Amino acid sequence: MPPKPVSPPARRRRRLGSSLAVAVALCVAPATVGVAAAAPPPSTSAIAPDLGSNVTVFDPGMPVSQIQATLDETWTKQRDNEMGSERYAYLFKPGTYGTATEPLQIKVGYYTEITGLGARPGDVVINGKVEVYNRCLEGNGTANCIALNNFWRTVSNLTVAVNSTGQDGCRASANFWAVSQAVSMRRVDITGANLSLMDYCTAGPQYASGGFIADSRAPFVVNGSQQQWLTRNSTVGGWSNGVWNQVFSGVEGAPSEAAFPAEPYTTLETTPVSREKPYLFLDDQGRYNVRVPSAQTESRGISWGAGETPGRTIPITEFFIAKPSSSVQEINNQLARGKHLLLTAGVYDVARSIAVKRADTVVLGLGQATLTAVGGAVPLTVADVPGVVVAGVTVDAGTTESPVLLQVGKPNGNGGTSDPANPTTLSDVYFRVGGPHIGKADTALEVNSDDVLIDHTWVWRADHGVEDFTEGYLGDTDRWETNTGRNGAVINGDDVTATGLFVEHFQEFNTVWSGENGTTVLYQNELPYDPPSQAAWTQPDGTLGWAGYKVADDVTTHRLFGGGVYGYQRNAEPGITTERGFEVPATPGVRLHHVMTVHLDGVGVIEHVVNDVGGRADSTNQGQPRYVVDYPTP
C-alpha cells in the first residue's frame, strides 16, 4: 500500500467558550465497605419502552431461581461464543437481588451487559457475585486457562455485595473479573470481598491483557497477571501486583509511581478531561430516562459519592429506539428531527452512514450493539458539532473495504465548531477489522474535530477469527492479504484527549496523531502478528516497520502517560525488526511518561522504545520490558 500522509491539511475551526473552564471535580464522600441498602422499587405505573427481544428487565420481586436460570442459560451459550452474532443486555430495576442463603451468582459471557437501572449504584444490590472466569482452552476445558480473549462484556451502575455461599474455598476468596480488552466496569460498588482481575482458581497460565474501570469503588484490587490496565476516577482500598503498565488517573487509594519501573505503576492525581458514560435509570414514577454526565477537568474519585452525578436527564421518549430491523433511512430521519438514538442489543447491517449532525445528540448502545459495514460504507459519522456522545457501540468492518469505520468531523474542518467545556465523547466504542468474518478498512477511527474525548476504546485488527477454521485457509499469510487495515486511530483534531486507547495489529502506524495539544492516558498496542516477511513490514523509505504510536513531525505539544508497544511476529522466520515502538518529534512540548516495549516471541526485534532511545527488545530479554521513564529526559 502507498504511504499515507500523517499530517492533514492545515485547518481552523471555531470554538465555543475557549476560555470557559469545565466544572471543577466533584467532592467525594469517604469510601465505605459495608453492604449498601437498595432503594425501594419505583412505581410500575409507567409504560416500559420496547427495548427489543435481546434486552431483559428483571424486577426484585421475581424469584431468585428464575433470574439465576435465565442468566445461566445465556452464560452457557455465550461462555465460548467469541465470534457469534448474539447480543444480550440484562437490566435490573432498583431493589435487592439474592439473599444470604440464596445469592445471585452472575457469570458474564461474551456480548453480555449487566446493568442496574437505579439513579445511583446503591439502588441496585446484587447479593452474590458478578464474575468473569478464565477460558480453559485445552484438556476438555480443564487446562491452559487464560483470560486473554475475554472481550466484549459490560457491568455497570450497581452494587455487588459479595456473597460466596455455595462456592468452594478458592472461588469464595474474591469477586473475579478476569477480562481483557473491550470490557468495562463503570459505576460499580463492590463490598465485602476483594476484586480480583486474575482468575487464580483455574489451571494456568492465567494470563490477562488489558481492561478498564471507571467511576467505581472497591475495597481492594488484586491485579495479578494483568499486563496493562487503566483505572480512572475511582476509589480503591488497595492494589497489588501488575505486569507491564498499570495506569491510575484520578483514583483515590492508587499506588505510588515512585518505584517505577520496578513497580509498573503510572499515577496521575487527577484526570485532565473526563466524562462518565450515559446510563439508563428509572425515576420515582418508574419512567425510563438517560442520564448524561457533564464533562469535568482535573477530576478525581467517583461521581456519585456526594449525590447525583452532575449532568442532564433525557426522558426515554426523546430517543428513537432502534432495532436491527430498523433502516438507516429511518434512523437518520429520526436524528434529523432531533431525536437521540438508542441501539438495542443486536447486529445492524449498515450500507450507508448513520449520520449524527446535531450538537448534544446521544447515541447509546445496549448489549454490545454492533454496526457492521456493508458494501464499503462508513457505518457512523459525527458532524463538527460539540457535545455529541456515542457510547456502548461496536463498529465492524465488512468484506468490502471502508475508508473509515467511524469519522468524527470532516477531514478539513470546513468551519465546524467545538467546545472544550462540552467535548464530543466516545465511551466504550470498539472497532473490529476481521474476527467474525473477513474485514477490510483503511482506517478504523478518524477524529478530525477539535475538543474530543475518547474514553475507552479498543481498535482491533483481528489476530484470530472464524477464518482460522475455514477449509483451505493458510493462517496469517492469508490474513495479511484479506483482513486489511492500514491505521487503527488517526487523530487530526486539536485538544483531543484519550483515556484508555487500546489499538492493535494494524498494518502500518497503529495510531497517527497529527493534532496539537493531544493527551493520552494509557496507550496499549500490540504490533501485527502476521507480516509474512520483513519486506512486507518495511516502509517505502526503507525504515524497518511502523511504530505503534506516531506523533506527526510538525506537532509541537503532546502528552502521553503510560504506554506500551508489544511485538509478537509468529509468521516470519527468523523474525522481523521494528525500529521503534514510539515515534515522536524531538521537541520539548512533546513528552512521554512511562513508556515501554517488549518482545514476546523471542524471535523478532524492536530496536528502540522511543525514536532512538531505549533498549533493544529481542530474544535475549524475551518478555522483559525495555522502559523509558521520560522522553525527552528532564
* CA nearest neighbour of 533 among 484, 575, 580, 581: 575
Q: Which three cell numbers stand for residue 438?
A: 473477513
Q: Give the three-class secondary structure for 439.
A: coil
Same domain, 433 and 514: yes
| 276: annotated active-site residue | no
Q: 526 pLDDT exceeds 60?
A: yes
Confidence of residue 39 (pLDDT cuts 50, 70, 90): low
* CA nearest neighbour of 584 among 630, 531, 537: 630
- Please tell me the predicted confidence (pLDDT) of residue 416: 76
**Bigger pLDDT: 411 vs 488:** 488
Q: 361 pLDDT exceeds 60?
A: yes
Q: Is the dihedral of CA 525, 388, 369, 441 positive or negative?
A: negative
Q: Which three cell numbers stand for residue 537?
A: 513490514
Q: Is the dihedral of CA 337, 342, 346, 347 positive or negative?
A: positive
How many whole angstroms separate alpha carbon 537 and alpha carbon 532? 8
Query: Is residue 506, in this structure, part of any structural domain at all?
Result: yes
Confidence of residue 29 (pLDDT cuts 50, 70, 90): very low
As a 3-state breakdown, the chain gives helix, strand, coil percent values, each rounded to 5, of 10, 40, 50
Q: Are 212 and 184 in contact (CB under 8 A)?
A: yes
Buried b (16+ CB within 10 A) or exposed e, 185-205: bbbbbbbbbbbbbbbbbbeee
Q: Give the tens place of pLDDT for each residue, 450-469.
A: 999 999 999 999 999 987 76
Query: Is residue 279, in this structure, part of any structural domain at all?
Result: no
- Please tell me the predicted confidence (pLDDT) of residue 41: 56
Total count of domains within the chain: 2
Q: Tell me the H-state helices in 40-126.
A: 64-78
Lowest mean pLDDT among 12-16, 350-354, 437-441: 12-16
Confidence of residue 493 (pLDDT cuts 50, 70, 90): very high
Query: Is residue 595, in this structure, part of any structural domain at all?
Result: yes
Q: Give the three-class secondary structure for 512.
A: strand
Q: Are 479 and 570 in contact (CB under 8 A)?
A: no
CATH of the domain at 581: 2.160.20.10
**What is the percentage of the chain residues whose pLDDT exceeds 70?**
90
Q: Give the tens place of pLDDT for each residue, 184-198.
A: 999 999 999 999 999
Same domain, 260 and 352: no
Same domain, 591 and 472: yes
Same domain, 263 and 412: no
- Please tell me the predicted confidence (pLDDT) of residue 283: 97
How many of the other CB atoms lie within 10 Å of CB of 477? 16
Q: Is the dihedral of CA 499, 91, 123, 283 positive or negative?
A: positive
Alpha carbon 285 to its chain centroid, in Å, reads 33
Which residues face 213 on adjacent strands? Answer: 185, 231
- Please tell me the predicted confidence (pLDDT) of residue 412: 78
- Please tell me the predicted confidence (pLDDT) of residue 20: 34
Q: 34 pLDDT exceeds 70?
A: no
Over range 37-43, report the average pLDDT. Answer: 54
Lowest mean pLDDT among 61-75, 239-253, 407-421: 407-421
Query: Is residue 371, in this structure, part of any structural domain at all?
Result: yes
* CA nearest neighbour of 418 among 362, 359, 498: 359
Confidence of residue 229 (pLDDT cuts 50, 70, 90): very high
Q: Give the tens place of pLDDT for each residue, 291-318.
A: 999 999 999 999 999 999 999 999 999 9
Query: Is residue 604, in this structure, part of any structural domain at all?
Result: yes
3-state secondary structure labels for all residues of 469-488: HCCCCCCHHHHHHHCEEEEE
Q: 520 pLDDT exceeds 90?
A: yes
- Please tell me the predicted confidence (pLDDT) of residue 31: 32
Q: Are 83 and 465 in contact (CB under 8 A)?
A: yes
- Please tell me the predicted confidence (pLDDT) of residue 19: 34
**Bigger pLDDT: 81 vs 141:** 81
**What does the CA dihedral 157, 159, 160, 162 come to, rounded to 10 degrees?**
170
Q: 477 pLDDT exceeds 90?
A: no
| CA angle (481 as vertex; 475, 484 as ends), nearest 5 | 110
Q: Which three cell numbers stand for residue 51?
A: 427495548
Same domain, 451 and 363: yes
- Please tell me the predicted confidence (pLDDT) of residue 456: 98
| Domain termination residue (choose one: 246, 274, 302) | 274
- Please tell me the predicted confidence (pLDDT) of residue 47: 83
Over range 198-210, report the average pLDDT. Answer: 93
Confidence of residue 183 (pLDDT cuts 50, 70, 90): very high
Over range 498-521, report the average pLDDT. Answer: 98
Confidence of residue 474 (pLDDT cuts 50, 70, 90): low
Query: Tell me, what DSSP letter sits at residue 411?
Result: T
Lowest mean pLDDT among 42-51, 273-282, 379-388: 42-51
Same domain, 101 and 229: yes
Q: 1 pLDDT exceeds 50?
A: no
| Domain termination residue (choose one: 274, 308, 328) | 274
Same domain, 422 and 536: yes
Confidence of residue 28 (pLDDT cuts 50, 70, 90): very low
Q: Which residue has the cell 522502559?
A: 627
**E strand or H helix that includes residue 417:** strand 417-418
How many whole angstroms separate alpha carbon 563 and alpha carbon 598? 11
Q: 269 pLDDT exceeds 80?
A: yes
Q: Are 280 and 288 in contact (CB under 8 A)?
A: yes
Over range 541-551, report the average pLDDT. Answer: 98
Residue 115: which domain range?
55-274
The phi and psi torsions of 467 (rounded to 5 degrees) equal -65, -20
Q: 510 pLDDT exceeds 50?
A: yes
Confidence of residue 7 (pLDDT cuts 50, 70, 90): very low
Q: Which residue has the cell 485532565?
A: 272
Q: 246 pLDDT exceeds 90?
A: yes
Q: Give the tens place of pLDDT for each residue, 559-569.
A: 999 999 999 98
The phi and psi torsions of 77 (rounded to 5 degrees) equal -75, -35
The phi and psi torsions of 413 (rounded to 5 degrees) equal 85, -60
* CA nearest neighbour of 28 among 296, 422, 424: 296
How many whole angstroms separate alpha carbon 578 and alpha carbon 259? 29
Q: Which three cell numbers stand for residue 225?
A: 497477571
Q: 634 pLDDT exceeds 90?
A: no
How many whole angstroms separate alpha carbon 385 and alpha carbon 494? 14
Query: Is residue 24, in this structure, part of any structural domain at all?
Result: no
Q: Are 374 and 349 in contact (CB under 8 A)?
A: yes
Query: Is residue 508, in this structure, part of any structural domain at all?
Result: yes
- Please tell me the predicted confidence (pLDDT) of residue 38: 60
| Domain termination residue (choose one: 225, 244, 274) | 274
Q: 355 pLDDT exceeds 50?
A: yes
Same domain, 378 and 251: no
The length of the chain is 634
Same domain, 129 and 238: yes
Query: Is residue 301, in this structure, part of any structural domain at all?
Result: no
Catalytic residue among 526, 579, 583, 607: 526
**What does the CA dihedral 605, 606, 607, 611 come to, rounded to 10 degrees?**
160
Over range 43-53, report the average pLDDT. Answer: 79
Same domain, 252 and 125: yes
How would you class 66 by CB atoms within 10 Å of its CB: exposed for 0-12, middle for 13-18, buried for 19 or more?
A: exposed
Same domain, 80 and 166: yes
Contacts of 337 (CB under 8 A, 6+ apart): none
Confidence of residue 9 (pLDDT cuts 50, 70, 90): very low
Q: Give the tens place of pLDDT for each residue, 567-623.
A: 998 766 678 999 999 999 999 999 999 999 999 987 899 999 999 999 999 999 999
* CA nearest neighbour of 449 among 504, 378, 352, 381: 381
Q: 6 pLDDT exceeds 50?
A: no
Same domain, 497 and 381: yes
Q: Give the three-class secondary structure for 607.
A: strand
In whole angstroms, how far apart are CA 339 and each of 244, 335, 419, 602? 44, 5, 21, 54
Q: 27 pLDDT exceeds 90?
A: no
Mean pLDDT in the chain? Answer: 91
**What does the CA dihedral 246, 249, 254, 256 come to, rounded to 10 degrees?**
70
